[in-house]
Amino acid sequence: MVPDTLNEDLFFNLDRATLLMRRHVLDAIGFHQVSPEQWEILQLIDNQSGISQSKLSQLTLKDKGNVSRILTRMLKNGWVHREPHRSGRGFLVCLTNEGRRIKNRLPFLVEQQVKRLLGPLPKEEQSEMLYCLKKLRILLGDEDVVASS
């Protein structure tokens, strides 16, 4: 049982909620053999139509070694391929047809799982939670957040 002092701690609750949400998302997409980190990278690559490994590291807030390991698994699975960068230095990571197929299938599964999990919360509370999380990201220096109006 979690001590009362931790149950009242903001950081503990944010961390614990993140871990629990990740576990539930993995339940929704795991049968595709895709981790939440791989799913995030599939989304980012598709949105950029090819992206450098450094940019992926920056956008995912993961170190370059971690991103490299994730991409190696994705290359082996046939979800991504590397193309030489126009500058001749480095390469861009792009989706394969199989990667795009998986990427297109997963958002529905994740959305359904999130709706199931957060459905008991009124829409106003869900909107307020999203607003507060975005505000927190801004306070923590996340330059990629788009603030709610």
% of the chain exceeding 70 in pLDDT: 98
CATH code, domain carrying 94: 1.10.10.10
- pLDDT for 43-64, tens place per residue? 999 988 789 999 999 999 999 9
Query: What is the domain extent for residue 84?
Result: 9-139
For residue 34, tell me if it sits in a domain.
yes
For residue 16, tell me if it sits in a domain.
yes
Q: Which of 131, 106, 120, 137 is nearest to 32 (CA)?
A: 106
Higher local confidence (pLDDT), 146 or 18: 18
Which pLDDT value is given to residue 145?
Answer: 79
Q: Would you say residue 34 has pLDDT above 80?
A: yes
For residue 4, tell me if it sits in a domain.
no
Under a CB-based contact definition with an 8 Å cutoff, are residues 91 and 84 in contact? Answer: yes
For residue 63, tell me if it sits in a domain.
yes
In this prediction the pTM is 0.77
For residue 147, tell me if it sits in a domain.
no
For residues 64-101, b (16+ Cβ closer than 10 Å) or e, as one string?
A: eeebeebbeebeeeebbeeeeeeeeeeebbbbeeebbe
For residue 83, tell me if it sits in a domain.
yes
- Counted domains in the chain: 1
Q: Would you say residue 148 has pLDDT above 90?
A: no
- pLDDT for 60-95, tens place per residue? 999 999 999 999 999 999 999 999 888 878 899 999
Which pLDDT value is given to residue 147?
Answer: 58
Q: Which amino acid is at 78?
A: G
Which pLDDT value is given to residue 146?
Answer: 75
